[in-house]
Structure formats: C-alpha cells, structure tokens
A and B are shown apart, each in its own frame.
Chain A
C-alpha cells in the first residue's frame, strides 16, 4: 500500500479551502505600528505646541510649517525611495548645496533663463543620482561609500562655484513659496502632490520593482529584474528630488550656500525612519516620512516657544528617533512571535 493511497482513503481534516480566516487586523495594525506611533508623536507635539502658543490651529500656521518642512520633505521623499530599495543616499547633501549655488549664480530676472537653469539643475540631479546607481552596480560597492564620495565631490564643486554664502535669486522665485490658491500656499499643494506622486509611484511596475529589489534582491533578480537598471532609476529619482529640494530651499533663503545641504542628509533618513520606513529595505510609505519630516520641523518650533536654547532641538530630535526605532522593534517582535 503506498502512502498516497492511504492519505486519499483516510478521514482527513476539513479541506483547507473551507478554513479561510478573516482579515488579520492585528497583524495589519502591527505592520503599521511605526507609522501609527509617528502619527501619535505628531499629534502630541501639535497638542503641546498649541497649548503654549495661540493661533496654532489656523491655516496660516499650516502654511508656515509646511513651508518650513518642505525642503526636508522633498529630500526625504528621494531618501525614502532609496531606503525602500534597501540603500542609502548621502549625496543628496552635495546635490542640494550644488543646486542652490547654481541657482544663486545663474538665475536672472529673465524667466526663460531662470527656467532653463531650473530644468538644468533637475536634470543634473537625476543624472548624478543615476551615476551613483550605476557606480553601485558596476563596482559592486556599498551605497553608503559611493554616495559619501559623490557627496564630497558635489560639495567641492559647489564650493568652487560659490565659496561663501551669497548670490541672489529673482524676487518672483522667492515669492513662489507664499503664492496662494484657495487659502493654501504652494508648499501645502506640493505636499498633496507628493502624496499623489507616491500613490501613483507605488502602484506602477517601476515602484513595485524597486520595493521588491529592496525586499529581496536575489529573488528580484531571479524574477528577471535588472538590478543595475533599478539602481539607476532609484538613485536618479533621489537626485531629482534633492535638486527639487534645492530649488525650493532658495525660495526660503533667497541665496545660495555651498554648505547648507549637509543639514538635510541625516534628517532625511531620520524622517523616514520615524515614519516607519525600514532601513533594511522593502517596507515603508511616504506618508510616514512626511509626518516624520513634520515632527522634526515642529520640534524646532517647540524649542522656540519653550524659550530654551536652540541646541535642545537636536537633542529632542535624537530622543524622538530613538523612541520610533524602539516602537518599530517592539512591533516587529510582536509580529514575529505571532507568526510562529
């Protein structure tokens, strides 16, 4: 008697087709725990801020805070794509600096010249990022090292173009950040546009492929993914968003700075991590990152209204980062113990 026949003939437990469990709500909640923690943090900070300062719950405040956070949001959008791919991009600091100095030295009152250079900066951002991706694939080097090197190179080039802070951009360019539509300023509309972009991006084959490559590169390769192409697109997009961050940043500063970009490197990673993006790739959403960026920005406001030294801001940011990492790790453990 063969094993197969015995199994066929015997009384088996009900076929598994009939035992579909319902939606795993708890599992889903645990998956989103880091994001929920970030939302909670934002709510808490806004509550404290609102209790210390009047006029926090107004459109004006929303407009102001979004404008203050937008540079970081743009930089962190690119960083999120790279992190979901399972990499990291330090070169955005160099790209942001380079973008501001090119703009500050090339933009003129003539809109067509300015538009030309703005597009050039964006194209440069994509190309330099694409080069990062190509180098990572071809040389099989760590993204950390490659982008550290390009950061240094871009930083140097920015210094050569404009050794000290200065230059200028036309008034109408600066005015862009306060332009209003339906009571909301352009940064708020940009924020919505970023969310829309992400919703679209994550539903495309390119977006899914980038996520898949971060989740398990070998499996992605065996499924026919060209890892080189994925890296070129991923880092290219990151460079593109860094260039966008530079173009927005000069609406806030009105001048170029060859050193300002470094202030966005680690915060862009921190914003993503606070928002629940995994540093190991494959997992994370832009909504979390944007909330993370808002949290980091509002900490600054809070330090200001508390009338304590501004040096407390990085301390508070660090504590928040630690709390988020802790929350994700607890959730991860809970989720894992459920699977077994």
Chain B
C-alpha cells in the first residue's frame, strides 16, 4: 500500500490557480522524483504536504488516514519534514541550534542541554557522513552551500518517515551534491520515502525509483523511472517538444575588446587574473566551486575591494562600488548568485524591481514620468516574456524562473553592455533555462559582452564561446572551440598543469 496517496488536490491564491486535480502516490522506501517546470505546482504541492499552506480541495491520505496539517508542526508530528529551497534557517543561531530548533534536548527549568545537543549533532553528522560543519558556528557566517547542508541536517534531525528535498542539490558543489544523492539512497534503504525535486535530469536518473510529472497545476503522468526516456519526460513536462535546450552557437564576437582585466587580485581568493572579453562574446567561467569564481564576479562588479587594472571599452575604469559600475552604456551589470537576497526586492512589485536602479531614466525635471516608466516596463515584460498578472504583482509571488527574468530585465534596463551572469539558471526550470540561453545568444548578437559562470558544466560547454577555468584564484586554462568539453574543464580545474 502507498504511504502517501493524494487525489484531486487543489489550491488557489486569489485568482491564480496553483494546483488543480493534482494526484500523487508514493511508497515507503522509495525515492520519488517530482518533475515539472517552475510554476507547475510542485512548490505548492510540497508546501501543502509540509503544512506551510493548506489545500482548498481534494484529499491526502498518509498511512490510509486523512492528512491535513494546520502548520509545519502538525506535519512533523505525522513524520513529514521538508528541506526547503527557500531556507528555513535562522541567521543568528548556531549550526546546532538551527538543526534542533524547537526540538532541543532540555534539562531542569527548561534549559537547553548543550552537551546533549552537541552529542546528538555529532552523532547525526557522523551517521549520514555529512561534509564538515562546525556545530557552534553562527549560521550567517556560512556559505550558501553550507547552509543548504545544515537545512538537510535539520530535516533529518526530526527522523521523518517522509523527507521532502526541494532543489536541495542546486546550491551544492559537485562533491556535496554527490554526497546528497548517496544520502538519499541511504534514507530510502532505511525505509523512508524521499520526495525529490530537481531540475537536473542526471540526478533524477541516478536515484529516483519512480517519478511524477506536474504541468500547470495538474499531474500529467507517473512512471517507473526505468520505464521512461528523458525525451518522454521533457515532452510531458513542457507539453511540447523542446527542440533544443541549447541554442545554436553562432559566433558573433568582434575584435573590439569590451572588458580587459589585468592582474586582478582580491584577498586570498583571487590572484593575478588576466583576460579579455570581446564584444558579442559569451565567455564562460568554470572550475570547481570555491576557486575564485564568486570573488572574480564580485571584484568586477565592485562589491569587494580588489587591486589590478580594469578597462571597459578601451578606457581604464575605476570600479569602486556597484553604483559606479552601473552607470550608463559603458557600465557593467550583474545577475547575482542569490537572487532572493541580493537581486530582488521580494516585497516590491515587478515594476519597482525593474526600474528602481534606473529611476533617473524616467525623471524629467526631478519628477517621475509614469508614462515613460510604464512603457519601458511593458517593453521589458514582453521582451522577456515575464509571466506576471500585472506589473504591480509582487516579485516574491512569481515563480523562480520568472523572478530570474525580472533580474535580467533590471540588468538590461541599466543599458550596460557588459553583463556578468553568475549562475543565472540556478533553480530555474528547463523551459526557462532554454529561454535564458537563447536570450544570452541574442544579446551577444546585439553586441553585448557576457561573462557567464555556471555550476552546471554542460551549460558552459554548450553556451560559451570560450571558457576560463579557475583554480585556486587563478585562471588555470582558457578553452576554445573543440577543446571545450566537460573533461577538459575538469582536467584543468583539478590537475596541476605543467609549467608552460
């Protein structure tokens, strides 16, 4: 018998139907993948399962008993825990306090038993072979990847019968992502049900026993993983054939150098970086995570202090802070890593997000021209095909892919023609990924110069004209033409090169 059976599940947010007629069934001891584009209803579905929101119609049975949790506590009481993509961690608490939050072992007078908490933390980390974490460290000092790992530990600390992993690998470097896949199998072997959401088909292939596909708020199919091909899955996800994920790579680069970087250094993470980015070029930045890619982007955007020389369109540029970097047609614009934290104001509308940093463009004699603003916003929403009810819809209520499009729009409105894209497809569904790649090539054809980092290696291989491979804060290799392959990138990223 199935551990979870869902029938006719529906949920509305105001006038928007998030789920209608969703069905789902999964057994104990299996890894069950949940697939669908962003906005297909996966997030709503797991929010309902985990008690964060309540459904309007339909039934959920857990162990054959009706299940309708009023809040996350009630869900946990029934043995269901979720590892959210939208992290549920507290920045000012330590790692172990976060893991055991609200379930802390206690002694007399309700005082938290720190020794016991430490012991349980280490036992948990040991049991599931967690990557190194310091239990006493404050969460806000951790990187995004480390936080994701803490979130996983927090989910496991509840010893759930059903664990939901929402895009848990998307923030992890390759090695940790691989660990998580192994962990997922281990949990299933322990008799738990793992509901696994990922946009990376290879991962789903590697671990899922069965999969359920969502589209437009409904379930379209459920399969044994072994019995269905990638093509069938993608077709069912998007409801049509996705001709090609990656657009054709027509070289559009000119001889004109858009961005020239010489001897760029910043702290201990970046030293002696030289490269040129040409007009019409998509230049990839790859390598193992944590080898200076983030620092390179931050230094170029002026978000961290750096030394060295930067030339923009042939003129020396002093890039002191993002505002300076943003100025006008000769400037630089960035799509940041953490779109919820750095890129978007979630409680502001799509319009405000688009125009906030370029407000000068609509100002006449110190007054805002609403007409001018509305025209530009409409142009951008249409150009990028941002799916929002109106431009006044809050950015926080958009799907991940559409949020990323808003950030692209914000960047394009600055009129800067040197674009820094840091992992722009992280947590974005397949359909939108394709749109983003096409957009990148279109922009390159228009004469934009694009520096592009991705944690997903095939993206670099298929989209970039050249790839810089970083190792220990330096550029270890520059790959061109036929030399761009996953093997070559990894070789340059991991193996010592002979002195040239």
List chain A positions with a Cβ less than 8 A from chain B: 1-4, 6-8, 10-12, 15-17, 19-20, 24, 27, 31, 200, 203-206, 208-209, 211-212, 214-216, 218-226, 282-283, 337, 339-340
Contacts and interface: CB of A to CB of B under 8 A. Distances in A.
Q: Which 5 A-B pairs have the closest CB atoms?
A: A222-B88, A282-B92, A215-B92, A224-B73, A224-B72
B345 interface: no
Interface of B: 51-52, 71-73, 76, 84, 86-93, 97, 101-102, 104, 106, 109-112, 131-132, 134, 137-138, 141, 154, 174-175, 178, 202, 206, 267, 295, 298, 303-305, 457, 486-487, 490, 494-495
Given A6-B490, A17-B132, A339-B141, A204 B110 contact: yes
Contacts of A15: 132
Contacts of B104: 205, 208
Contacts of B141: 24, 27, 339
B494 A212 contact: no
B97 A222 contact: no
Nearest to B84: A222
A209 B103 CA distance: 11
Contact of B109 (A3, A4, A200, A211): A200
A209 B73 CA distance: 14
A219 B89 contact: yes
B84 A224 contact: no
7 contacts: A27-B141, A204-B109, A208-B97, A209-B102, A215-B90, A223-B102, A223-B154
Given A4-B178, A17-B132, A20-B132, A223 B91 contact: no
Contacts, number: 113
B134 to A, nearest CB: 7
B147 to A, nearest CB: 11
Nearest to A21: B134
Given A2-B202, A12-B175, A200-B109, A208 B84 contact: no
Contacts of A1: 486-487
A211 B487 contact: no
Contacts of B267: 340
A223 B112 contact: no
B366 to A, nearest CB: 30
Contact of A220 (B90, B97, B132, B494): B90
Given A215-B92, A282-B91, A283-B92, 4 more contacts: A7-B490, A10-B495, A11-B494, A224-B76
A108 B214 CA distance: 73
A87 B337 CA distance: 30
A222 B92 contact: no
A2 to B, nearest CB: 7
B486 A16 contact: no
Contact of B90 (A2, A6, A212): A212
B304 A208 contact: no
B97 to A, nearest CB: 7
Q: Which of A1, A219, A220, A282 has the most CB of B within 10 A?
A: A219
A282 to B, nearest CB: 4
B395 to A, nearest CB: 15
Contact of B112 (A4, A17, A208, A212): A208
A339 B102 CA distance: 28
Contacts of A222: 52, 72, 84, 86, 88
